[in-house]
Structure 1
Amino acid sequence: MPKPRKAQISLDATPYYHCVSRCVRRAFLCGLDQLTGKSYEHRRGWLENKLLSLPSIFAIDIAAYAIMSNHYHVVLYVDSEQARNWTDYEVVERWHKLFRGSPVSAKFLQHKELSDGEKTTLDLLISKWRERLQDISWFMRVLNEAIAREANREDRCTGRFWEGRFKSQALLDEKALLACLAYVDLNPVRAKMARTPEHSDHTSVKKRYNKAVKASNPNPPEHQVKGLLPFTGHPNNDIKKGLPVPLTDYLALVDWTGRIIREDKRGAVSSFLPPILDRLNLDQQEWIKLSQGFETSYKTFAGCTEKMKLAGQLLGYQRVRTT
């Protein structure tokens, strides 16, 4: 029996999570339906636009994403500190961008005077909404429900569009995080939907490539794509939030990994080992295994054995599968 989501997520263990959501209907989320000849390619734009809009509301950033034919991948970063620092007004304002709220919260936004009972009610609502705005389950719910409504309207039908549960993996250390980012970014290449990462439509890596080639120095966060969690370099630098390698190192790593995975490039660069792999203490074969089959290599937790055991203890697991 699947564990409840709250038993799979511990922000004390890691703020990074890999999520996958899949369609339940035969009709694709995107792409061409070979049976009917109808194209659903435009739905990728729906999903990408909605996905990239949500970090402006939630205290959750997007580290990577790839929108495929009948599923999508996203790597999320939960910024609890940001949520704690919001004022009460900011929490209510953000929630009202997603839902109607309540008469009390609407009155609060209009700067009208509240009674003592209304203030108590509002405090409870704000506490609940602050938690939900840093909750990946609510993030995924808002995203999936919006796309399901649009798809059902277009298909003139009702019923489920997505599987009931999305898959979630906690990324517990730097190796797991980078392997998962590369796995997500290379999904279209592995599926033969694109020749190279920079030609992979509706992916974070294409956005990062397109921005990087226009910048004289693509590594500073201010020169990177807005709306995606930036690569900030070494984790011990002065920048608190960001992915822990330089952007150029990561793009080189993805390019090298993609060449190894692609059959027509296998062996062409097999003797080349990017410096980033040396710094992560990963050998070539270990890296290829992780970046090709991340979902099968790990279940609920991804990381070294020590980190997985620690995460299990934080969540009250009696036993954690580490292989």
Structure 2
Amino acid sequence: MAMPRSQQVCLADTPYYHCVSRCVRRAFLCGEDSSTGVSYEHRRAWVENRLLFLASVFSIDVCAYAVMSNHLHIVLHIAPEKVDTWSTRDVLQRWHKLHKGTTFTQQYVKGESLPSYALALVEASASLYRQRLSDISWFMKELNEPIARRANIEDDCTGHFWEGRFKSQALLDEAALLACMAYVDLNPIRAKISQTPEDSSFTSLKRRVSSAKEGYQPKALYPFVGIPKEAVSCGLPFKLTDYFELLDMTGRIIREGKRGIIDASLLPILKRLHISSENWLCIATEFEKRTANVVGKEDAIDHYCESHHRRRKPNQQGVKLLA
């Protein structure tokens, strides 16, 4: 039985989540359908543009993504502290980028005078929108539904385009986060649709590499900040250069179709996270296969199961690989 989304997402456990949406019956989202010869490559841009637009609206950051031929991978970071700093007007202006809102919220944003009862309704609406703007389910809904409608219009058909429920995995620690991001960024290499990680179109890695050449990190993506000096940091707890080097070496091994040993110069980031080179290669290429709906080291998963009163532990294969 599928677990309710409310039980899968808990910010007390982790703000990081891996989300996957797949097309129904493995239909083509993007790329070229070999059976018909029809190309849907242009839809990749639809998904990427919508995803990065939503990142600018929601209090949710995009850490990694890969738009594949019939599915989509995203690693998200929920930032509830960000939405708490937004004023009522800020919340309404953001929500109006997605939906019309109500007559009263529209009037409020325009600065029109409203009676007290209308102001109370505006505040109630803003409170509801504030919750939605930091909710993964709403983020995925606002991503998938417009793409489905647009694709159905183009295909001149009706019905479901995506599977009814997107998959989500809680990434409980840094090792799980790093492994999942690498798996997502290297998906085109593993699927043999790209030769090198930096040439993988419509991925977060491609966007990060392009920006790095200009000397900056892309504003649309959650930044790399290195090992944080403080308990709270606004960014990924890895060095961008280390991540690039790690993916480059891992991508070479995947492309050559063999299991090798990662070069010694790439070991520091894995050593800090206590992941062996052999385990890294396995988890970076088979993350979904080896993991369940929560991913992390054994102590993190034990704490998660205890706090959520779960007797049955998730798949332990990934736990051993992250050790």
> Does TM, scored on the shorter chain, surpass 0.5?
yes
1:272 shift after superposition: 6.3
Residues 92 and 313 from structure 1, CA distance in 2 versus in 1: closer, same or farther, beyond 3 angstroms? farther
1:294 shift after superposition: 1.0
Counterpart secondary structure, 2:61: strand
Residues 126 and 313 from structure 1, CA distance in 2 versus in 1: closer, same or farther, beyond 3 angstroms? farther
Show the counterpart of 2:296.
303
Q: Is the 8 A contact 1:8 1:315 kept in 2?
A: no
Q: 2:229 aligns with which of 228, 236, 246?
A: 236
The one-character-per-residue Cα deviations of 1:106-153 (angstroms, maximum 9, x if unpaired) are 121122222232222222211111010000100000000111111011
The residue type equivalent to 2:281 in the other structure is I
Show the counterpart of 2:250.
257
1:235 shift after superposition: 2.4
Using the size of structure 2 for normalisation, the TM-score is 0.93
1:50-199 equivalences under 5 Å are: 50-199=50-199
Counterpart secondary structure, 2:84: helix
Cα distance in 2 for residues equivalent to 1:192 and 1:211: 24
Counterpart secondary structure, 1:126: helix
The residue type equivalent to 2:117 in the other structure is G
Flag structure 2 segments of 5+ consecutive residues without an equivalent. 317-323
Counterpart secondary structure, 2:63: strand
Using the size of structure 1 for normalisation, the TM-score is 0.93
Cα distance in 1 for residues equivalent to 2:308 and 2:9: 8
The one-character-per-residue Cα deviations of 1:129-182 (angstroms, maximum 9, x if unpaired) are 101000010000000011111101100111110000000001110000000000
Q: Is the 8 A contact 2:64 2:203 kept in 1?
A: yes
Cα distance in 1 for residues equivalent to 2:109 and 2:265: 58
Show the counterpart of 2:314.
321
Cα distance in 2 for residues equivalent to 1:106 and 1:70: 38
Residues 237 and 265 from structure 1, CA distance in 2 versus in 1: closer, same or farther, beyond 3 angstroms? farther
Cα distance in 2 for residues equivalent to 1:289 and 1:298: 12
1:60 shift after superposition: 0.6
Flag structure 1 segments of 5+ consecutive residues without an equivalent. 216-222
The one-character-per-residue Cα deviations of 1:217-251 (angstroms, maximum 9, x if unpaired) are xxxxxx21220111000022597210111100000
Cα distance in 2 for residues equivalent to 1:250 and 1:60: 22
Show the counterpart of 1:16.
16
Counterpart secondary structure, 1:85: coil
Counterpart secondary structure, 1:74: strand
1:322 shift after superposition: 5.1
Residues 322 and 34 from structure 1, CA distance in 2 versus in 1: closer, same or farther, beyond 3 angstroms? closer
Bigger shift: 72-81 or 112-121? Answer: 112-121
Cα distance in 2 for residues equivalent to 1:275 and 1:41: 38
The one-character-per-residue Cα deviations of 1:32-76 (angstroms, maximum 9, x if unpaired) are 112221100000011011111111110011000001000010000
Q: Is the 8 A contact 1:259 1:266 kept in 2?
A: no
Counterpart secondary structure, 1:139: helix
1:191 shift after superposition: 0.4
Cα distance in 2 for residues equivalent to 1:276 and 1:147: 37
Q: Is the 8 A contact 1:305 1:322 kept in 2?
A: no
Q: Is the 8 A contact 2:21 2:166 kept in 1?
A: yes
1:26 shift after superposition: 5.2
Cα distance in 2 for residues equivalent to 1:17 and 1:40: 28
The residue type equivalent to 1:141 in the other structure is K
Cα distance in 2 for residues equivalent to 1:35 and 1:322: 36
Show the counterpart of 1:247.
240
Bigger shift: 272-281 or 289-298? Answer: 272-281
Cα distance in 1 for residues equivalent to 2:261 and 2:176: 26
1:35 has 2:28 as partner: no
- What's the Cα RMSD here? 1.8
Cα distance in 1 for residues equivalent to 2:277 and 2:47: 34
Cα distance in 2 for residues equivalent to 1:41 and 1:271: 38
Counterpart secondary structure, 2:158: coil
